Amino acid sequence: MLIRIKQDELLKDSLSWLCIEPMLISVRGKNLDEKVAVYNQLNEGQQALYLFYAFYNHVHTIEEFYWFTSYFIGELKAWNGLKSGVLFYRDQELINILEQMELVIKRKNMKSGEWKQASPTDLENDIELNEYIKPIFIAYQNVVGRFIQRMNSYIRSHKEEFLEIDE
């Protein structure tokens, strides 16, 4: 699925978002099967964008960071796909942050082989958990902008994988 954009849009900081926005909007509010069907039609770079923006667009606070990480790991089963997508764009720094978060989440929510659903209020009720996650969230915030720039650069160098350009 290639996205049509105008030549001048190639320079936008939001290029990577423009490349996946129509797909994500098309599945908003749909069931998981419909989301997976769209995901499966995408190439590897687009799949990486899909999972990254499905995560990133929901993570604005430390509570959302905690809850969505837990959701991607335990319920959605999309965490490994998210990490694979980050590796597709070769960002080891972001991978390290995601893996730190994964360890904290699994320690908190995996009890006796059973997955315990997270709640955004977990951070209010567990000061120690909040203190573990706070520096990870700050690190995430510090690198995610550079990661988006990295994706934009890749797309500009591999336009044929993502775009049809109107002159």
What was the pLDDT predicted at 109? 81
- 12 three-class SS: coil
What are the extents of the domains in the chain?
A: 3-166
Confidence check: pLDDT of 72 > 80: yes
15 contacts 165 by C-beta, under 8 angstroms: no
Confidence check: pLDDT of 150 > 90: yes
Q: How many Å separate Cα 54 from the centre of its chain?
A: 5
Q: What percent of the chain has pLDDT over 90?
A: 79
Mean pLDDT (whole number) for 139-149: 97
Q: State how far the alpha carbon of 153 is from the alpha carbons of 1, 11, 115, in Å.
A: 19, 10, 38
The residue type at 41 = Q
Give the pLDDT band of residue 97 (cuts 50, 70, 90): very high
Strand duo 3-6 + 114-115: pairing: unpaired
Q: At the topology level of CATH, where does 3-166 sit? A: A middle domain of Talin 1 (1.20.1420)
Beta strands in 22-162 (DSSP E): 110-111, 114-115
SS (H, E, C) 60-77: CCHHHHHHHHHHHHHHCC
- 15 three-class SS: helix
Confidence check: pLDDT of 76 > 90: no
How does pLDDT run across 4-49, given as a tens digit for each residue?
999 999 999 999 999 999 999 999 989 989 999 999 999 999 999 9
119 contacts 64 by C-beta, under 8 angstroms: no
How does pLDDT run across 151-166, given as a tens digit for each residue?
999 999 999 999 998 8
Instruction: Count CB atoms within 10 A of the CB of residue 165.
Output: 15
